[in-house]
Amino acid sequence: MEDKRKLRFILIAFALLLIVGIVGYMILLKVNFVDALYMTVITISTVGFGEIGTTSELSEIFSVFMIFLGVGIVGYAFTTVVAMFVEGKVVDLWKGNKMDKKISALNGHYIICGSGELAEVIIEKFIDENLNFVVITDNREALDSYSHHNILVIEGHSTEENILEKAGIEKAKGLISALDSEVDNIVTVLTARNLNKEIYIIANSTSKSGSDKLIKVGANKTLSAIEISGKRMASLMIKPNIISFLDVVTRIGDVELDLEEVIVKKGSYLENKNLIEAQIPKKTGLIVLAIKKFEDSRMLFNPPVNYTFKIGDVLIVLGREDQVDKLRNLGDELN
């Protein structure tokens, strides 16, 4: 961040001033390191307790040069630090260091690239799902807003390797590139894929040809917000009753239903049971819409009642969050 760069500049400037002063006085006054350090400190601080060694015109000119440099650097450092305290940026820097530690400790998290309206919708959904994620943005307003709402955020461009590495790309589970520029999305996907061959990447396509390009450079899936919105608007006009039905299915009064994934794990209640034996609607109230088979990744819509669940199968169910949790913990409840 800009404030970190300012503090880093001040520290480097002070260090260089000390080095120049020490070396200069050691040569000009022919004194040892400690005496040269003493001369440098009293000169740049303008204290003037007393000079050491035999002075000359050259050493005096050097002292004047050191005084001007010292006053300039000290003045800049003082005004910068005071301004940071007044604006509360010192606290922000402390929070930034704390945030960096949290990000470096993440594992199996998600990375969201972008800060536009599309990215904000994604962020809200991830917050609702209580998922671990990091946002990468170069938008100063969005950066301040996210950090003040305790959202892990990194300032920079997701097209750069060092920024993705800072976000923990090697340990991340998935990445969403929701940038406004097609080129930036392509470069982000390409860079992320080179850094992590296994990460699942979804990218926003802003043009029809962009989807193919994004897939070629490493995206697993692409979506076009414009295309999805256009098709939905057309469907609302052509088939309003069907769209209204879908809206009702996913929101009934104050009770919100959602599509969820439930994975069949070893030793779970669902292992080696078929749909009839599992009695999922009766025990949980969920509707099983489809099953993604683990063996061939084929999707079975409206699966047959005699289908036997295998470890690794994924159930696509419709229902409330508490019903989904009940299904996932069904075996524990029955034991």
Among residues 87, 117, 134, the one where a domain terminates is 87
Flag whether the pTM goes above 0.75: no
Query: Are 220 and 249 members of one domain?
Result: no
* Separation CA 237–CA 30 (nearest Å): 90
Q: Of the ranges 202-211, 224-233, 253-262, which is most confident?
A: 202-211
Residue 161 located in a structural domain: yes
Q: Find tokens 């994934």 and name the residue.
A: 261
Please, what is the end-to-end C-alpha distance for the chain in angstroms? 53
pLDDT at 6 over 70: yes
Can you give the CATH number for the domain in which 279 is found?
3.30.70.1450
pLDDT at 246 over 60: yes
Among residues 228, 259, 283, the one where a domain terminates is 228
Query: Are 117 and 140 members of one domain?
Result: yes
Q: What is the DSSP letter of 46?
A: T
Domain of residue 57, residue span: 2-87
Q: Could you read off the pLDDT of 136-177 as tens digits, one per residue?
A: 998 878 777 776 677 898 888 999 999 999 999 999 999 999
pLDDT for the residue 90 = 47
Query: Are 38 and 125 members of one domain?
Result: no
Mean pLDDT of the chain: 83
Among residues 87, 117, 139, the one where a domain terminates is 87
pLDDT at 194 over 80: yes
27-34 contacts at long range (C-beta below 8 A, 24 or more positions apart): 28/56, 28/58, 28/59, 28/62, 29/53, 29/54, 29/55, 29/59, 30/54
- What is the number of domains present in the chain? 3
Residue 102 located in a structural domain: no
330-333 contacts at long range (C-beta below 8 A, 24 or more positions apart): 330/268, 330/269, 330/270, 330/283, 330/284, 331/267, 331/268, 331/269
pLDDT at 283 over 60: yes
pLDDT at 251 over 60: no
Q: Could you read off the pLDDT of 70-96 as tens digits, one per residue?
A: 888 877 777 776 666 655 454 455 455
113 forms beta bridges with 136, 177
Share of the chain above pLDDT 70, in %: 85
